[in-house]
Every structure is written in structure tokens, then in C-alpha cells.
Amino acid sequence: MYPKLFIPGPTHVRKEILEAQAVPMIGHRTPEYSKLQLEVTPKLQQLLYTQQRVYLYASSSTGVMEGSIRQASTGKPILFTVCGAFSQRWYEIGLQNGVPSEKIEVPWGQAITPEMVDEALSRKEYDAITITMNETSTGVMNPVQEIAALVREKYPDVLILVDAVSCMAGVKIEFDAWGLDVCFAGVQKCFALPPGLTVCAVSDRARERAKQVKYPGHYFAYAQMDKRYEKGQTPATPAISLIQALNKQMDDILAEGLENRWRRHQEMAAIVQDWARKYFALYADERYLSPTVTNITNTRGISVEGLNQELRKRGAIISNGYGDLKEKCFRIAHMGDLTVEDIHWLLEQINDILGL
């Protein structure tokens, strides 16, 4: 009845993780809750290679996208780098909040490069730059480390805000070493948890900047999160059952080993990419292929919806192309707790259905 999800979020959640939500309810002002948050936070810091703060928001990542720009803007514009639907949405969120918003843009399937960012930042002063690390709509992974190195060196006052929604916990993100300022992700993708919780690392620099913002808002405000952070609590009621599941999952992630986890994602991606090159074509620039979701150009003119209907009968679903790419592309996610064996099985099913 329930198909296994090879879609770019929510992705497949293991039974043990689903059940980890069902721990009896605890009060968010009790020692039991503080213990939970103080247990899970260092595990997240380890995952993100950071000594700085990691917040847990009861929210989808879209809310944290909004909070991140509201707390970065002291009056200078924010530079949004746009390479697909989700990076474009971030820009629109800027407009809807009255944040001075400008964008640079590449065609879908292409990546943002350090050179483009350099060119834009050299023209005027910006408060911050946004980067969508893994553009879920196109299957492109932007070179965040290289962009960050450039910004940190040449434009030290520009904050670097990174949407890592569909790649955090699937690829290595060295928050401190790269010099990032904000990096967030919903847990329903590479964390392989049910949705409703967003993990967000914030640098001390970004927390200082937020103090200079006249109207930083409330719910996503770092200043609010900081009020009880050291006590292991959140200002509003946290998503307790999801945090219970996150704590269990972080143990499993660390038991797998971070380097093993990154390698598994690379392996799954390579299998799907090779298959796509053989039977179809890759939509994204070969130099910037995502290790967590592959966007495949429908060169054979198959019915993507028809394929998915057949896959459903066999117990799985993939994603159609995003927006205008519907039926022109299809997407296979290889993230979270999916395995190389899962991916082989999926591709065999597709080959069988399409007679490849």
C-alpha cells in the first residue's frame, strides 16, 4: 500500500525511526527534554563539523529560509544566487518580506560559480549572499566550498547563507572550515526522518549581525533561540517526537560513520548517473552533479507518469520533472537511508517496465 520513496523528500523512513517518534511525551521545560536536546546537539555539530550553534526549529525549511534573510539584512541588499525553482523561491521570499533583494541567475541545469559571485559582489556592497547548495529542481550541486572561500577572502563582511535542504547529512559540509554563516535543512531528506523539523547551524558572526537588525522577527530569531540554548531548550514548544527520532537517527548515522555515509551517497549517485547516461541523458552540468538526486532528461519520450504508475505497483515511486520540466525530465533521489541495493533494485524495475 505504501510505496518506497525514491523522491527528493520526504524520502524513505525506516521502521525503527518511525517508531522512535512514539516515545511517551515529555514536557519541554523538564530535565528529560533538556537531556534530549543536549544529547542531540553535539551529534549535529559533529555532522556539520562545527563548534558553533545548531538550532532545532519546529518548521519546514522554508520558514528558516525566511528567517535567515530577515536576520541578515541591515539595509544593504542580499544577493540571491538563482539556478532553479528553490533558489528562485528564496529570492521571492526576500521580496515578500521587504528585504532589499537582488539576484544573479543561471539557466536551469547550470551551477553558480565563484567567478559569477565575485563579479556581482565587486559591483556593490551586500549584507549577505544566499546559495542553494543542492538545487532539488535541477539536480545541480553548487560549489559552496569554493564560493565561500572567495567570499570569506575578498568580502569578509558578507554573510553566507546556505540552503542545504536536500543534501545535509548526505554530503560533507564543513561549516566552520568553509566559513559558512547559516546552513539549514529539513530532516525529511538526507536525514531520512519524517518532516516538520529543521536543523540550522548559525555562526557567531551571523548571531552578531542579527542583533543589528531592526525587525528580526520572533519565531525564527536567533536571539530567541539563544535565550535557553545553553539550558538545552527552545523558546517555543519544540517538535519533541521528531527530535526523539532525530536523536535515534543521529546515533545510527554516526554508527555508519560520516565518511562511509558520504561515500554511500556518492556510490548511489554514480550508479544512477551511469544508468542515465546509458539510457537517457543527464539534465545537469556534468561538472556539478548532485550526489543526492539525479535529474534525467526524458530523451526517449516515455510517459513519466505511466512509468511511475507501474513502479507503484511494484512498491516504489520516483519524481516527475519539477514544474515546467514535468514529463521532460524525471528525478531519482538517492538519499537518506536508501542503499546501493535499493538503487539497483529500482533501476532493474525501470529497465523491466520500459524494456531497456
Contact (Cβ atoms closer than 8 angstroms) between residue 234 and residue 28 = yes
The dihedral sign for the CA sequence 214, 175, 111, 67: negative
Q: How far apart are CA 145 and CA 151, in angstroms?
A: 10
Nearer to a copy of itself by C-beta: 222 or 288? 222
Nearer to a copy of itself by C-beta: 41 or 136? 136
Q: Write b or e for each residue in 67-106: b if 16 or more Cβ atoms lie within 10 A of its Cβ, otherwise e.
A: bbbbbbbeeebbbbbbbbbbbbbbbebbeeeebebebbbb
CB of 208 to a copy of itself, least distance (A): 18
Nearer to a copy of itself by C-beta: 121 or 317? 317
Nearer to a copy of itself by C-beta: 66 or 127? 66
Nearer to a copy of itself by C-beta: 83 or 193? 193
CB of 215 to a copy of itself, least distance (A): 4
CA-wise closest residue to 18 among 195, 189, 254: 195
Q: What are the Cα distances from residue 216, in Å, to 97, 99, 194, 220, 223?
A: 11, 11, 29, 8, 9
Residue type, 206: A
CB of 58 to a copy of itself, least distance (A): 5
Contact (Cβ atoms closer than 8 angstroms) between residue 142 and residue 288 = yes
Q: How far apart are CA 321 and CA 308, in angstroms?
A: 12
CB of 120 to a copy of itself, least distance (A): 23
CB of 226 to a copy of itself, least distance (A): 14
Q: Give the count of alpha carbons within 13 A of 187, CB side only.
A: 29
CB of 65 to a copy of itself, least distance (A): 8
| Greatest pairwise CA separation for the chain in angstroms | 61
Positions that interact with a copy of itself (CB under 8 A): 2, 5, 7, 9-13, 15, 18-19, 21-30, 32, 58-63, 66, 92-93, 96-98, 186, 188, 194-197, 214-221, 235-242, 317
